[in-house]
Amino acid sequence: MVGFMKSVLTVATVFGFFAGGLAAPAPTPEIDYLSLIKPGPGFPTPQQLNLTNADLAKPAPALAKLMVRETLEKRYNPQCWGEPRCNYNDAVGCYNYLNSLGSTTCAASGVVRMCSVNGCNWYARSLNGYSASPCYKAAAGGAWVINNCNVGGRLSGSNAAYDNGNLAVDILAG
C-alpha cells in the first residue's frame, strides 16, 4: 500500500508540475501609452483628451468593418513594406490616439508626423502638395496597414486616409 501511495504522489506531483506549465500566461504589463505617445505638431496630448491607457490599447477594428470602398474606384494602392517595422502594439496605440481626435484635421504639405510611440511613426503624406482629412479617417487608413501588414507582431506600410486618395498614411519605425 505504501508503494502504491508513493506512486500516486509521484504522478500527482509530476502532473502538477506539467499542468502548471499549461496554466494561463501571466498578464502582460500595461503599456503606459499616456507617457509614450508623442503627438504630431499642434495636436493635443492624450491627457488633454482625457484618454486612458485602456482607451489607447483597444484593438484596431477589423478591416471589413472599416473599408467598404473596395467597390469604389481606388486612387491609391495600399502596400506593405519590409524593415524598418513597428511593434504591433505601438501602432495600435497611435491608431487609437488618432481615431480619438475625431474630426480634428490631419493635414500635410509634404510629410508630417502625426503620432509616434517607441519609434513607431505614423506620417501623413500629401500626394498633391496639400492634403487634409479628419484624423479618424487617417486612422482608418492606417488600420488597413495594422490588419494586413502584421508579420510576427511587427508591421510597416502605407494606405490612403479613408475617402481621400490624396493623403497617404505611412506607418514605419525609425
Specify the pLDDT at position 63: 52
Residue 160 lies in a domain: yes
Number of domains in the chain: 1
Residue 169 lies in a domain: yes
What is the tens place of the pLDDT at every residue in 54-103?
999 998 877 544 444 454 446 789 999 999 999 999 999 999 999 999 99
Answer whether residue 6 shows pLDDT above 90: no
Residue 23 lies in a domain: no
Residue 20 lies in a domain: no
Residue 144 lies in a domain: yes
Domain that holds residue 143: 31-173
Residue 88 lies in a domain: yes
Specify the pLDDT at position 108: 97
Band of pLDDT at residue 29, cut at 50, 70 and 90: low
Q: What is the percent of the chain with per-residue pLDDT over 90, rounded to a whole number? A: 71
Specify the pLDDT at position 30: 78
Answer whether residue 111 shows pLDDT above 80: yes
Placement of cell 467597390 in the chain: 71
Q: What are phi and psi of 139, to 5 degrees?
A: -60, -40
pLDDT (average), residues 24-32: 56
Q: Which residue has the higher pLDDT, 2 or 128?
A: 128
Specify the pLDDT at position 10: 41
Band of pLDDT at residue 31, cut at 50, 70 and 90: confident
Residue 15 lies in a domain: no
Answer whether residue 18 shows pLDDT above 80: no
Specify the pLDDT at position 154: 98
Residue 7 lies in a domain: no
